[in-house]
Structure 1
C-alpha cells in the first residue's frame, strides 16, 4: 500500500486584510481629530501662562527698582544692568523681547499725560520718562 505524501495542515496567513487596515486607519484618524485640537489649545494656554509669569517678573522688578532707587527705570535694559532681571524675558506669543512700555503719569500736577505718547492734551511733552508698566505687544493676550 502506498502512502499518500503527508501534506501540512493548511495554516492561515498571519497578515491583516485590507478591510482591517482601513478600519484601523479610520479609527486612528478619528482619534487624531479629537486629540490634535486639544494639543494645540494646550500649547496656546501654556504660552499665555508663561507670558503672564514673564509680565509678573518684569513688574516685580520695576517695583523693586522703584523701591530701591526712588524713580522708575529708564528702560527694561536698566533693570538688567542693575541686576533686577537676568535678561529681558521673551514674550512667548511674539517670540521677541519687545514689550509695550507704559510711562509713569506725573502726580501732584494738574496736567495729565498720555502714557503712550508722553504728551498732555495740548501736545506738550512732559518731562516724565521711565518704565511704569509693561504689556504684551500680542493682541490675543489676556495677560494685560
Structure 2
C-alpha cells in the first residue's frame, strides 16, 4: 500500500516556483506603493495650497495656522502626509510680509527623495 501525500521533491519544486513568481511580483508591488504615495502627496499639496489661496482671496490675509482652514470650512480636515503618516507634520511657509498671516504655503516634512531624484520636502 502506498501512502498518500506529497514527496519532498514535489514540495521543493512548488516552493521554487512560488519563490520565482515572488521575485517578479514584489519589486513591482513596492514600486507601485512608492509611486502611489508620491501621487497622493502631490494631490494633498494641491488641495492645501488651493484652500490657502481661497482663504487669502476671501479674507485678504493668510491663515494663522492650518487648523483655520478647517474651522473656516475651507477643508473638512487636514490631509495626512502619506510619507510621514501624520496630519501635523506639514512644514508651514510664512508669507514675505508677516502682517498678512502665517501660512502662505506648505511642504512635506518627508526626508525621502522622489523617484525622479528631487527631494519631497521641496515640492
Tell me the TM-score normalized by structure 2.
Answer: 0.82
Aligned twin of 1:130? 102
Counterparts of 2:52 and 2:85, CA distance in 1? 22
The CA deviation at 1:128 is 5.5
After TM superposition, give the deviation of residue 13 of structure 1 in Å: 6.3
Alpha-carbon RMSD across the aligned residues, in angstroms, is 2.0
Q: Which residue of 2 aligns with 1:34?
A: 24
| Structure 1: tracts of 5 or more residues without a match | 1-9, 107-125
Q: How many residues align?
A: 115
CA offsets per residue over residues 105-125 of structure 1, 9 Å max, x none? 13xxxxxxxxxxxxxxxxxxx
Return closer, same or farther for 1:66/1:141 CA change in 2, 3 Å cut-off: farther
- What TM-score do you get using the length of structure 1 for normalisation? 0.71
Instruction: Work out which structure has the larger RCO, using CA pairs closer than 8 Å and 6 or more positions apart in sequence.
Output: 1
**Structure 2: gaps of 5 or more residues:** 115-119
Contact 1:48 1:141 in 2 (8 A): no
Task: Name the counterpart of 1:55.
Answer: 45
More helix by share: 2
- Counterpart residue number, 2:81: 91
Residue pairs, 1:73-84, within 5 angstroms: 73-84=63-74
Larger Rg: 1
Correspondence 1:100 to 2:72: no
